[in-house]
Amino acid sequence: MSQTHPFHHWVQLEQPRLGTRVTYATDDFFAAKERVIDFAAPVFIDDKYDDHGKWMDGWESRRKRSEGHDYCVIRLGVPGVIRGFDIDTSHFTGNYPPQASIEVCVSDEDVPEKGWVELLATTDLDGDAHHYLDVNDENTWSHVRLHIYPDGGIARLRIFGEIRADFSGVEGFVDLAAIENGGRALACSDEHYGSMHNLNVPGRGVNMGDGWETARRRGPGNDWVTLALAQAGVIERVEVDTAHFKGNYPDRVSLDAGLFDNDERATPDAPGWQMLMPETRLKMDQQHYFEALEDLGEVSHVRMSIFPDGGVSRLRLFGRVGAEE
């Protein structure tokens, strides 16, 4: 399950578990518009057909016999700053669109009519391929409109970016690591079976695949993951959830934290890490709560180490935004 694409350190804003929805498509005769943001990787089933023809895992419009082109509208569950796209045409070979472009806007409507601005100019596409496309923009957007020229099928549209929550007026504890607040997993030693980005999504894990799980370690050392907090703050309570991990949960876990100027400085071997929680034993398939933490004051990043390897479903880091008064 190892990921090597250039946007792996950013959040997938399009995932439905954040509340993102495809709210409109000009046409989805051959394949439903909702599939274009399905969190699972697209598949091809050779002999699967439905009433409209060959079943395809993505969004596919019919062959256009008039002027114009097709498009779909995606409303992000949590507005975010977009850092890049992957227009994925996997398994679409003779039926992919030769070009695509993307617009964005901010709106309270499901299908906005006004306010659209171009974020990605018309771009050539290939069949059965990933197209990783950079974005240089610091604005927060709530909607994405994918245009395809003139018609055809897109397996997935991945929208990579970051969430910038507004903490003004927030009192009490918040989950500083939560994806919906702007927390992000940055890097890890291994994610052979489960992505590090599962650690801070809403809700408990639905199965063993909905967590971060490493390969079995056969040499010295241990596995680790680093996370950027939504905003620097004081961590006062931790939850480590091993839901569904029974024969493969880590034996022990420890936490380190630090205050770093930026994500690039928070490397796993940076000198600024301090112990937040010493090595502590875990149990299978349960939520563990820890409050006996070191008083480190304000921190911006956390490194979780697991010994020696295994799977963790969720990590929650509850605290107060900013330094203690």
pTM: 0.92
| Phi/psi of residue 311, nearest 5 degrees | -130, 135
Asked if residue 206 and residue 124 are part of one domain, the reply reads no
Mean pLDDT of the chain: 95
Asked if residue 189 and residue 151 are part of one domain, the reply reads no
In a domain, 167, yes or no: no
Query: Tell me: the pLDDT tens digits for 237-285?
Result: 999 999 999 999 999 999 999 999 999 999 999 999 999 999 999 999 9
Query: Tell me: the pLDDT tens digits for 51-107?
Result: 888 999 999 999 999 999 999 999 999 999 999 999 999 999 999 999 999 999 999
The answer to whether the CB of 61 falls within 8 A of the CB of 69 is no
What is the number of other CB atoms lying within 10 angstroms of the CB of residue 61? 25
Rounded distance between C-alpha atoms, residue 190 and residue 264, angstroms: 19
Query: CATH number of the domain that 158 lies in?
Result: 2.60.120.260
Matching residue, tokens 């490493």: 214
Query: Tell me: the pLDDT tens digits for 167-202?
Result: 887 778 899 999 999 999 999 999 999 999 999 999
- The average pLDDT across 26-35 equals 97
Asked if residue 138 and residue 180 are part of one domain, the reply reads no
In a domain, 53, yes or no: yes
Domain that holds residue 304: 174-321
Rounded distance between C-alpha atoms, residue 323 and residue 259, angstroms: 11
Question: How many distinct structural domains can be found in the chain?
Answer: 2
Beta-strand ranges (E) seen in 264-310 are 274-281, 287-290, 299-307
